[in-house]
Amino acid sequence: MAKKIIKKRKPSLKLERSLQNEGHLIIAGVDEAGRGAWAGPVVAAAVVLPFLNKYYDINDSKMLTENQRERIVKKIYEIAADIGVGIVENEELDSMGVGQATYLAMRRAVNNLSIKPMYILVDGFRVGFSGIPSRGILDGDKKSVSIAAASIVAKVSRDRIMRSIHEDDSKYGFDTNKGYGTAYHHAQMKKLGLNEWHRKSFKPVREVFVNKSSLKISSK
């Protein structure tokens, strides 16, 4: 029996065009990066695209390689009507929890737009934005080009931050793991303790913090 070929779904502008037909002419796509990492900030992006007749390989950031994201993000910055980036540092995240930190990063990204959108499409659950209607789209980065563009901007922005942190403190491999929970990252935490960018509210990090409470937090 011939093997069935399953085509991977790529994002489109179907949602955006439907909203534009309803009179919402300025639409922002919003997504975040770094929600599940053990260290570093949560970064969100809001992207307002013009009317497009081609998609420039914009796709869910998780479906792209690092080199592809770096290439495509340049095109996004060239074609976008507006881009806003919002950052919530790990200390803020620890004080409010990762869910609220994610929402705050998204609101900051929208607030950093120069153009006020008429409607916001968000990856995942609906997030309230003051005075602007919005909709949460499950797997939105796979369905909406605007959200996919935001996912790329957020991911590339955060990866650059983590590489910069690695230049200050190279012991945890942030240039490659980007603060996520790899075996190497975990082993280095257990061996050396934490640094100032670790999220102590996350269980694997908190366990190291408690077990090494008699040790000083690792410095640069």
pLDDT confidence of residue 96:
98
Same domain, residue pair 159 and 177: no
Q: Is the pLDDT of residue 6 over 90?
A: no
When pLDDT is averaged across residues 171-195 and rounded to a whole number, the result is 97
Domain containing 57 — which CATH number?
A: 3.30.420.10
SS3 content of the chain, % helix, strand, coil (to 5): 45, 15, 40
CB distance 69 to 156 below 8 Å: yes
Average pLDDT over residues 127-135: 93
- d(C-alpha 124, C-alpha 36), whole Å: 14
Average pLDDT, the chain: 93
pLDDT for 170 beyond 50: yes
Span 24-82, pLDDT tens digits: 999 999 999 999 999 999 999 999 999 888 899 999 999 999 999 999 999 999 999 99
Q: Are residues 187 and 156 in the same domain?
A: no
- pLDDT (0 to 100) of residue 95: 98
* Element at 98 (helix H, strand E): helix 98-111
Residue-number span of the structural domain to which 181 is assigned: 169-211
- Domains of the chain: total: 2
